[in-house]
Every structure is written in structure tokens, then in C-alpha cells.
Structure 1
Amino acid sequence: MASAGLSEDDNISDTESDLFESDSDQPSDESDSGVYGKEPCKYYNSGGCKNGGKCTYLHTCKYFLKGSCRYGSRCKLNHSVDTGASSGMDSRDLDQSTSSPKLTDGRYYQWQLHDGKSWKDVENDHIIEAQYSLPHTKSIKIYNTPYGAVSINFNRMRVYGKRLKVRRLDDGNTVWFWYCTLGRKWIKYGDKDSKGNPTAATSSDIEKKFQSNSKSSFTFSIGGETFEIRFPAMQQVGKNKKRRVTRRPLFRQQQAGARAVQAASALQKVSLGSKPQWQFEGDSGAWHEFRHRQKGTSTECSVTSDDIEQRYQLNPRDSMTFKVKGHSYKLDFGAMIQTNLKTQHTHRIRRVLV
């Protein structure tokens, strides 16, 4: 039985071990021109591409992809990503396509991998879903699958370096939140700003427009200035500033009955373990399980792995405090770190399946 875990790490290790790793996405106001995983065709952008529909690059305005085309709707080049041989439907488009099946068996969501033959359910995919719901997590790495280590990029909804596709199915009732970068933080549209004023645009307004046309944009005004959220580029564009935008679901814990239905599914599964275990990284780099140790010992601890899991199940974005040898620590599930509240020294934590 494979096990899995989570850790926040900007550099994903290639060392084979039985765990998950998630990669935190530090916000930046600069955009990624390769937002769909393919570069724009330089020949198309400079006047014409002789390969036409057979070209493997995007026949799309490169400035549109960057969110900086000054010609807007007057531009003579394509301002969508549905032209060229393979530029239109990547895994993210497939996931949002109306042809993707909806779950009708009580499950809220299901992550799947496609190996060229069939879609396979990922077991225990609530770990993937919980990380996907966090706007700062840009990717996750699944170890010990039938395909080896698999890296899933959440922003592009694609698998790195393997001939695999990934998709997320749901029951059609997912609540989607939209976030924008501000001061190197992800801020949810609709939340109040530092002055206590709600933002002019809400996630529900943006999502409604996105559902009607995912290749269009959403405009709103603040203090007389107009802003545009461009869905293909996932950017908010103002007069003098561009900010990155992301769309993530509200995390929902699967119902117990839905797990039984999932276990009886006829689809082949990618098994990733079953029993959660929480661990922290020591100074030497070794990982240790949270255990309740007797008071007065050198390893005294007030919580167990099961205590942490119980709190995590209530809210995977929450935090909790505990004590070790009289010192107070804070566990931050969103950042996957523990902090000594006196010294502010931090250690990574992770959730593994054994």
C-alpha cells in the first residue's frame, strides 16, 4: 500500500518516496505568457505561419496572452486559444468542457488521471482537493503511483513530463472563489480591504461571467478606475498595474456514503494509502510523527497525530496550538508549517497516508 503526504516546498524533490508534495505559489504581479503550457507562434505573430493548422504553437496574439495588447478588440491577431493544431483543448479546457461527465453518485468531486487508455480515479483525492482549494498552492507531486512520481500543475491543470492527462470532475455544485494578488498575498474577491470596505467585484459575479464564456473578461470599477479580469490570461488589468488571478473551489469533505460508492467504482484506481499520519521535520531533516509523550520527558508533546487530523478534518485551512516542553507552537494547515510562538522559528509539517 502506497503512502502519501504533503509539504510546502518551493523546490519539489525528485527523490522517490511514498508521499505527496505541494508547491506554494508566491504571488507576483508579473504574468506567465505560457499560461496554457504552449508558447505563441512567433511566425504567426510576425505576419504568417506556413504550417497553418498543423502548427504545434499557439496562433494567438502574444501580447493578449500577457494581458498587454494595446489594440484590444481592434487587434488583427487572434485573441483566444482555440486555433492551431493542439492549442485549443489542453487538460484544463477538457475539465471545463460540457462533454466532461458530472458526478451523480453522491461524490462532490473526483480527481482522475488518463494514461492514453482510460480515466482512472485517484483514491484519497481529498488531499489533492484540499491543496487545490488553497490559492497559493500551484502544484502537487504524487509519489509511488503506477506511473512513478506524477507532478500536477493546478494553474494549468496538466501533468509535467509524462504522457498523462489530469482532470477534476464534480457534481456541478462546486462553489468557486476568485483571488487576486495584492501585496504579495492572495486576496479573495468580495472580501473587505484593509479599510473594511468590500471589493467592488465578488467571486459569484466573476464566476457567473466565466461560466457564460471562459474566453471573455469581466470588468468592474473602483473609484472611477476600470479594471478588467481577462480569463484566458488569468489577469486583472488596470491602467497602470497587472495582477495575477486564480480560481479555486471551496473545499468540501466527501460524505461517508460517497466513499463507499467510490470504493465500488468499476474504474481502475491509483491507490495512495488510507490512514492519515501527521509529521514534523526535525533540525536534521528527518521526519517524525506527532505523538503524545509524557510530561517532563525530553520529547514531551501535548498532541497526537490523531488530534491534529481531527482538527484538520473540521477545516483544512485552520490552525491549532499545542505545547512541547512548556513551549507553545502553532500549526498552520494552509502553509503546512509549525511555528514556535516565542522564537518564531518554523519547521515544515506534512500529512502522509500509511
Structure 2
Amino acid sequence: MSEYSREVLLATSVLCSSGGSMQLLQLHRNLLQRCNISEETFCYIVEHCPRFLMVRGPGTEPRVVARTLLRLCRSYAQEGRCGGCEALHLCKFFIYGTCRFGKGRKPCKLSHDIRSDHNYQLLREWTLHMLSEDDLFLLLLQNDPALLPEVCLHYNKGSTPHGCCTFQNTCTKVHLCQHFLQGDCLFGSRCKRHHTVDEHGRCMLEKRGLSGNIIQDLPSIYRNIHNLAAAAATADSTSTEKSPEWVSEPAADEMNICLHFLRNSCRFHNECRKVHFHLPYRWEVFDRSVWIDLQHMEDIERDFCDPSRAQSSGDQPVNFLTMTRDSKPVRRLSTVSSVTKPPHYLLTTKWKWYYKGDQGNWLEYGQMDEKQRATSVTSRNLEEAYVSDRAAKVKVVKGHREYIINFTDIYQRNYKHNTKRRVRRRPVFVSVAEIEKQVSAGNPGPDVVLLDLIRAGGDMDLSSAKLYL
């Protein structure tokens, strides 16, 4: 069983049990009552963990909002079955708290079990498995756009009691003051727009199945939804929750391991902007205020290269999904991707891309599955696209079906059937013995460097060439 960050889980639980968001200092005080968390660790997880969104309003204390990309499966909700996906299989009315089935009556055809095999596996992957039902449902309500009706924008325009909304009392959207939800309404109790759900809105929502408790909490839930949507818009409508697996290769060039140092040929020595390390990968844990090398680095790397593994082995495993160990942040540094260098370059990092198969196994892109079908793109195709543009979307065809991979959202989606599969990017394992063998084999000769110069059209920096000549 995977072990997850205790502090992140506790912070998520505190936020969800407090309406889905909380002032920053209040959250810190609440966490201190539950665990011994340092100020440095608290600041780190709030600022860097994709579970949390920091909202900074003018003249107000920052607020932290809980977020997730986990959703309910629409196919399961409509048909009561699904061919396998990465979304929860739950009854929507069970989440609303109003399902008429069960409790001594005829059983509901949809699941009411958040700990079913399918659901619990997903909750573990998203580090939500320790949340109570109420906390999980609140998190879903403010993150899954399919669960709640939208706020009526026309209601917030015009001077009539219903604004410009032509449906008025028959409108199926919620009539609430948009400025109140944004936190900038100047009129307060004198505002002519609703700051709470009125009687008509309550009746409409009850017909849709929402319980009275949820309806009462809707203004604060919609405020959180607004903040999450604003953050998504700021990020060019990309996903706001990236998998911690993407931390495995830092984006900044200066955080890459120096290839020349590995070959004992870096002329910059201590002034080099890249990391000098004796391996093409480096695992570190953040302890208090510094990054410290992890022990058994080769074993951790071997486990990480296996796409089916969510954590490393040993007494203190590294969680590859949250990139933590014992609640402390972990990072993996590496050499540049192999697709950015000519084939003869030694000790670059070769990445492979995998998707989750129908049987729960992990299949490499471009390889045959159990039905002898292969995807139209290979691992190398995806790696080249990813290195070129980490916000790109790549079309993938397999058999008669078409999918889209979005690099900002670790899933492969089939928009026609509204399904998605988890995607993982993992390196090819290179042992310490193999590294030493490659290094001892020596540097490429002058003919190889000249070949590089020809390929580069004569534009290769001469100081770089001299490293080999």
C-alpha cells in the first residue's frame, strides 16, 4: 500500500471540513494542532503542492483552496457501467445526500462505496484515500463542473430583479451575485443581487437532487469554484493540478546534471551552471531548508523506471506520485533528454511513455497490446513533442479510436466516449555498473565531433568542440 504525505492529507481534510478553503494562517494553526509541521514545510506544500491553490486578494489575507482533477465517470452515471476509466464510479445523488435507494429500500444500481476496488485505487493514486466521505464529496463538488449548475451570468447584468435573464423564475442556473462570489461586492447586505440561495433557487436545486445542507453551503462552494476557474484561465485554460511525477525532470537547464562532468571534461568546474554529480540521475529529499542526497539511489531509480510502481521499496519508500518521503518533498535531477542530443552522446536520459491498459497493466506507446494493436505514436515521438512544447496536445490513433494526450494533464482522453487513461513518463534504467562502463569507454573521437559540426551546419560552439578534441 502506497504511503502518502501526512501533512498534505491532513491539510486537505482540514480544508474540506471547513468549506473547501481557509485563510492561510488559520490553516497553519489547524495543522499545528494535528501534527508537528515546520513553517518551512508548510510554506513549501502550500506553494508547490498541486492540491492547493493560494488566492491572494487585494488587502486581504491569502486563502488556500483545495483542488483536484479527479472526476465522476459520466458513462457510469448514465449507463451504470464503464469499460474502464480513471474517474470515480459513484452515484451522483449519493454525493448530494439524497439518493432514494439503499437504507433498507431497493439497492441503488450505482455504487455508494468510495472504497470499492475501482474507486479506492483511484483515491490512492490521487492521495485522497484517507478523506472521509463528506470531505471527499465537498472536494468533488467544488472541482467537478458536472456536479453543480452554473451561476447565471445574465442575472448579474441589467437593473431588473432578474437582471437580463429571460428565463427568470424558470432559469435552471443559480441566481447569485457574481461580485459576492468574487469577493468584491461593494453593497453588502444592501446589494439587490442574492448573496444566498433564494426560495426559487432552493426549489430548483432540490428538484435536481441537492440536499438542504449542500444548498446552504453553495455560496462558499461557488466562491471556491470561481477562484479555481480564475486560476485555470490564468494558466491558459490548462490543468491546474499537475502530477507530481512531472517533478522528475526540472525544467530549468541549470538543474540538469552536467554531461561533461560525467565524462570528466567540464571546463567550467565550480562555475558550471549545471549540477555536477557522478550519476546521470540524482534523488534528493528536502530536509528543513536544504536538499539532501537519498541513500540507495540506484535502487530508487530502478523502481522509478518501472511504470507500474507508485513507490520505491524499503523501509522509507519514496512515493513517486506525490514525490515525497515521510511527508518531505523529494525531487529527481537528471541529464537532458536523449532526444535533444545526437545518438552518440553518452549518459543522456532516455524517457519512455506509457498508458494504462484495459487489464491495468502499463503499455509503452508504439508497442503491441494483447490484441496486437499499436498506437500511431511512439515513446520517442511523444518525448520529442514534450521537449518541444510542454503544453502541447498530441493526437494518438489506436485501431479505430482517436485520443488526445495533453502534456499539462497526465491523461490520454477519448472525447467521443468521454473516457481517459492515465499516462506516465519514466526513464530507462541505467545501473551504476553500466554508467562506469560507459564512462571508462572514453570520450568520442575527433571524427565524431567533426560529424556533429557538419550536422550543425558549422554552427557548433568551438569551445564545446574543444572539450572532445
TM-score, L = length of structure 2 = 0.37
Q: Which has the larger radius of gyration?
A: 2
Structure with more of its chain in helix, by fraction: 2
Structure with more of its chain in strand, by fraction: 1
RCO (CA 8 Å, sep 6+): is it higher in 1 or 2? 1
TM-score, L = length of structure 1 = 0.47
